[in-house]
Amino acid sequence: MRLFATLVIGILTVGQFAQPVVAQGQPLRIEITDGVIEPMPYAVPDFVAETPGSNQVSKDISRVIAADLNGTGLFREIPAKAHISSITNFGSPVQFADWKAVNAQALITGGVSVSGNQLEVKFRVYDVFAGTELGSGLRFKGTTDGWRRMAHKVADAVYARITGEGGYFDSRVVYVAETGPKNNRKKRLAVMDYDGANLQYLTDSSSIVLAPRFSPTGDRVLYTSYETGFPQVYVLDVGSVRRKVLSNESGTMSFAPRFSPDGKSVVMSVTEGGNTDLYKMDIASGKRQRLTSTPSIETAPSYSPDGSKIVFESDRSGTQQLYVMSAGGGEATRISFGKGRYGTPVWSPRGDLIAFTKQNKGRFHIGVMRTDGSEERLLTASFLDEGPTWSPNGRVIMFTRETRGAGGAASLYSVDVSGRNLKPVKINGGGSDPAWSPLQ
Amino acid sequence: MKLWTKAVLTVAALSLAACTDPGGFGNDDDFGAGNGSDLGSSADPSSIAYFQEAVGDRVLFLVDQSTLSEQGRLVVLAQANWLMQNADYVAVIEGHADEQGTREYNLALGARRASAVQELLVSQGVASNRIRTVSYGKERPIEICSEESCYAQNRRAVTVLTANLSG
């Protein structure tokens, strides 16, 4: 369901009021790589309702922007009750002294107008202590149904200006929604905004479904289903919810699919006679190419963003370890050498890191390493953490955490790639196997 | 918000549909009783109930292993013997893993376990077209505690019989 196909972005015409002066002293900037400990204080007063009837949506948009920024752990909102100044007119000059007095380093102002089902949101970001605007104002136009997406777009722009990196708020997550006890668990595919809003189920729970993965454009989802009684890979169109089986050869199982970066083919595991190897399949023709031929288990493949390589797990050494090979198959290089077992590698969208699941001494971890296996860092530890997925900007990792015991349940968590800001993702009931979409 | 109301209603409608759905494969899965085949009486040596109780429908595996134990081997040999005498049945061998492992690896491991049983059955003369394998990985535990006592029961391959209606 494309809520928001008609999004229009425009740069606000400068000249409504004083031109920003050149920033003095330190520019407003969070250097994420420096290891931010202290979140940046900022204010986002309710956006100004510029038309009758846009009061509520103005407030709601401001709250979604604040939730996005606060959720990163990099920003801390100065609450409205502490404000000594208010923004009642988007075009009026900002009283910087009033915002300095409450220690807001950044200020986000906005205006919202509604006409029929059309919504327009404009905003500006200010460096309060420098008394200047940061970047130029932007205007988003769309339909009222898409108000959350517009709020996420604003938050992405603010995040990008202050951190210098791309945002990730205007994105979605597909996952497996879970209900029922451990020995009778019902699973169904669900898709939601990254923050849990706009939940939509894509399948019913009559068959086990596993590990959905978004296409590079976010319009299709690959997943594994037991619909036929045997696990097979399906591709589903998110808009129409129509699905088709990709690989359904009698006597074989297929699972762990992932799109190639061009979206035209799929790499996956196929099991035949008890042996699991990697195959590439062209989606249009259904033609299959075998990438590995060993008696060991080869699974959980993931492409490098440029499509030239595949990282995967194999137990060819005797235990589960990570390997990198050319996208066409052939010799593979082992990259994991630490203690324990390594699985479910996922190449980051920036190409610089590989996220993985590690099992050691009865504990599970989500970790990252460089693509040559160096600089391994574990970000989490629990009874069972697995299945990392990257935010579109490569800053945040979402994964499955399952609790111990007879009442054990799965839920989604996220953690910054620095290891900070570990927290549950709000979902309705249980969930597992999240996969993050690209930025929409 | 209006959008939220709509989303919640959609969810409610879907849940309702799911409840009344008669369900496909897996909905009433009781892990090894077969789909729709009459179990019969365990007093009848050609019944599924007899196979389950007297012959033994499952073998267990060590952690991360797919090699049959000596005890497991004896069970599968008895299964082969029974299948040779009861040609009206076909079997699906379900391989399973405990929860200590990643989802994909456990699927592959369950497939190895199912295959180990299949290979021994075929080597004893059971026609290969009577036996299929499937892996559930860690998706269908029968015991739910997070202790070795439960894990040991979950690391299994179960031979599930169905009366061969086409035969």
Residues A116 and A235 in one domain: no
In what helix (H) or strand (E) does residue A402 lie, and over which residues does it extend?
strand A396-402
Q: Which residues contact B105 (CB under 8 A, 6 or more apart)?
A: A297, A299, A300, A313, A315, A320, A343
The verdict on A289 and A190 lying in the same domain is yes
Domain-wise residue ranges, chain B? 42-163
Sign of CA dihedral A101, A103, A105, A108: negative
Min mean pLDDT across A31-35, A175-179, A277-281 is at A31-35
Asked if residue A110 and residue A202 are part of one domain, the reply reads no
When divided into structural domains, chain A yields a total of: 2
A321 and A244 belong to one structural domain: yes
| B127-156 residue pLDDT tens | 999 999 999 999 999 999 999 999 999 999
Q: Given a cut of 70, is residue A17 above it in pLDDT?
A: no
B 44-73 residues inside an 8 A Cβ radius of A = 66
Cα A221 to Cα A212: distance, rounded to the nearest angstrom: 6
8 Å CB contact between A381 and A364:
yes
Q: Are residues A115 and A179 in the same domain?
A: no
Give the Å distances, CA to CA, from B11 to A1, A286, A304.
15, 34, 36
Interval B27-55: pLDDT, tens: 333 434 445 578 888 889 999 999 999 99
User: Per the CB < 8 Å rule, is B139 touching A185?
Assistant: yes
- Does the residue A152 lie in any domain? yes
A293 and A156 share a domain? Answer: no
Residues A37 and A186 in one domain: no
pLDDT more than 70, % of chain A: 93
Domain that holds residue A57: 8-163
Same domain, A226 and A114: no
Distance between CA B167 and CA B160 in Å, rounded? 17
Q: Is residue A301 part of a domain?
A: yes
> Does A2 reside within a domain?
no
At which of A163, A192, A222 does a domain end?
A163
Half-sphere exposure of A46 (CA within 13 A, CB side): 14
Inside any domain, residue A363: yes
For residue B161, what are its two tokens? 């019989």
Look at residue A93 and give its three-state secondary structure.
coil
Q: Are residues A129 and A204 in the same domain?
A: no
Which CATH number do you get for residue A141? 3.40.50.10070
Report the pLDDT averaged over residues A19-23: 36
Residue of B nearest to A250 (CA): B132
Compute the residue count for chain A.
440
Claim to verify: residue A85 and residue A200 sit in the same structural domain: no
**CATH code at position A279:** 2.120.10.30
Quote the crossing angle between the two packed helices A147-163 and A55-71, to the nearest 10°: 40
- Cβ contact, residue pair A231, B134, below 8 Å: yes
- Cβ count within 10 A of residue A352: 12
B128 reaches A (C-beta below 8 A): no
| Amino acid A380: pLDDT | 98
CB atoms within 10 A of CB A367: 23
Our CA-based measurement puts residue A358 at a distance from the nearest CA of chain B, in whole angstroms, of 9
Work out the minimum CA distance from B103 to partner chain A, whole angstroms: 8
Is the domain of A180 the same as that of A292?
Answer: yes
- Are A57 and A113 in contact by the 8 Å Cβ rule? The answer is no
Secondary element (H or E) of residue A8? strand A8-11
Of A163, A188, A206, the domain-final residue:
A163
**Third-level CATH fold of B42-163:** 60s Ribosomal Protein L30; Chain: A; (3.30.1330)
The phi and psi torsions of A32 (rounded to 5 degrees) equal -65, -35
**For the ranges A6-20, A48-62, A146-160, which has the lowest average pLDDT?**
A6-20
Contact A189, A205 (CB under 8 A): no
Instruction: Assess whether pLDDT exceeds 70 at residue A236.
Output: yes
Sheet holding A353-360, edge to edge: A341-347, A353-360, A363-370, A377-378
A3 part of a folded domain: no
Can you give the pLDDT at residue B3? 40
Of residues A180, A255, A263, the one with CA closest to residue A215? A263
Q: Which amino acid is at A10?
A: G
Residue A94 lies in a domain: yes
How many whole angstroms from its chain centre is CA A268? Answer: 22
For residue A419, being part of any structural domain is answered with yes
Question: What does the alpha-carbon distance between residue B99 and residue B140 come to, in Å, rounded to a whole number?
Answer: 10
For A370, the enclosing helix (H) or strand (E) is strand A363-370
> Which residue among A147, A227, A231 sits closest to B107, beta carbon to beta carbon?
A231
Q: Are residues A394 and A413 in the same domain?
A: yes
User: Of A125, A140, A163, which residue constitutes the final position of a domain?
Assistant: A163
Q: Is residue A339 part of a domain?
A: yes
Contact list in B for residue A186 (CB cut-off 8 A) is: 18
